[in-house]
Amino acid sequence: MNYYSLNRKAPNTTFAEAVIRGLAPDKGLYFPESISPLDPSFFETIENKSNTDIAFEAIKQFIVPEIPEDVLKTIIEETLNFEFPIVNINENISTLELFHGPTMAFKDVGARFMARCLGYFNKSNTNEVTVLVATSGDTGGAVANGFLGVKGVNVVILYPSGKVSDIQEKQLTTLEENITALEVDGVFDDCQDMVKRAFMDEELTSQMQLTSANSINIARWLPQLFYYLFAYKQLKSKYKDIAFSIPSGNFGNICAGMVAQKLGLPVKHFIAANNANDTVVNYMTTQSYEPKPSVQTISNAMDVGNPSNFIRIQELHNNNFEDLKANLSSYSYTDDETRKALLELFKDYDYVADPHGAVGYLGAKAYLENNDAHVVFLETAHPTKFLDVVEEVIEQKVELPPQIKAVMDKKKSAIALSSYEELRAFLLN
Catalytic residues: 107
Residue 296 burial class via C-beta count within 10 angstroms: exposed 0-12, middle 13-18, buried 19 and up: middle
Residues 6+ apart with CB under 8 A from 66: 14, 15, 16
Cβ atoms of 142 and 107 closer than 8 Å: yes
Q: Which residues pair with 74 in a beta bridge?
A: none
Q: Which residues pair with 182 in a beta bridge?
A: 158, 415
Q: Considering just the CA atoms, what is the radius of gyration of the chain in Å?
A: 20
Q: Is the peptide bond before 65 cis (omega within 30 degrees of 0)?
A: yes
**Widest distance between CA atoms in the chain:** 58
How many whole angstroms separate alpha carbon 356 and alpha carbon 379?
Answer: 7
Torsional sign, CA 285, 291, 293, 296: positive
Beta strands at 328-332 and 269-274: parallel, antiparallel or unpaired? parallel
Strand order in the sheet with 328-332: 86-88, 93-97, 374-379, 242-247, 269-274, 328-332
Please, how many CA atoms are within 13 Å of residue 67, restricted to the half-sphere of its CB? Answer: 28
Cβ atoms of 156 and 130 closer than 8 Å: yes
Cβ atoms of 164 and 299 closer than 8 Å: no
